[in-house]
Amino acid sequence: MRLPIAAVSLCLAALCLAALPGSVLAQAPVTGPAIGVALVKGEIDPAGYDFGALRYQPGQTIRFLGAQAAAQGAIAKAHGQTSYQAVLQSHACLTSAERLTAAGFDSALLAPDAQSWSEQKAAAEAAYARFAAARETILTGKPAPYPEFAPDAAIVARAAAAPTPVVQALYRHQTQDQIWRHALVVGPPKSYAEGVGKAGAIWLNARLANEGCATAAANNAWLKTALNTVPWFDVKTYGKEADAAAWSLAEHADADPALQKLVLARMGQLAVNRQSNPANFAYLWDHVALGDGRPQRYGTQMHCVGRVWAPISPVEEPAQLDERRRWVELPSEVIAQKAGARFCGG
Phi, psi of 127 (to 5 degrees): -65, -40
Helix or strand holding residue 96 (H, E): helix 96-110
Within 8 A by CB and 6+ apart from 267, the residues are 232, 247, 276, 280, 281, 284
Query: Rounded to whole angstroms, how far apart are CA atoms 113 and 204?
Result: 18
Sign of torsion over alpha carbons 147, 149, 152, 153:
negative
State how far Cα 268 lies from the chain centre: 26
Phi, psi of 305 (to 5 degrees): -115, 95
What are the tens digits of pLDDT across the range 180-218?
999 999 878 899 999 999 999 999 999 999 988 899 999
Quick one: DSSP state of residue 187? S
pLDDT of residue 346: 61
Count the Cβ atoms, other than its own, within 10 Å of residue 150.
13
pLDDT of residue 8: 32
Q: What is the pTM of this model?
A: 0.85
pLDDT of residue 7 exceeding 50, the answer is no
What are the tens digits of pLDDT across the range 97-132?
999 999 999 999 999 999 999 999 999 999 999 999
Which candidate, 249, 221, 214, places its Cα nearest to that of 233?
Answer: 249
Dihedral through CA 98, CA 102, CA 104, CA 105, nearest 10?
Answer: 140
What are the tens digits of pLDDT across the range 217-228?
999 999 999 999
What are the tens digits of pLDDT across the range 12-66?
222 222 333 333 333 345 667 899 999 999 999 999 999 999 999 887 788 999 9
Query: Rounded to whole angstroms, how far apart are CA atoms 301 and 324?
Result: 15
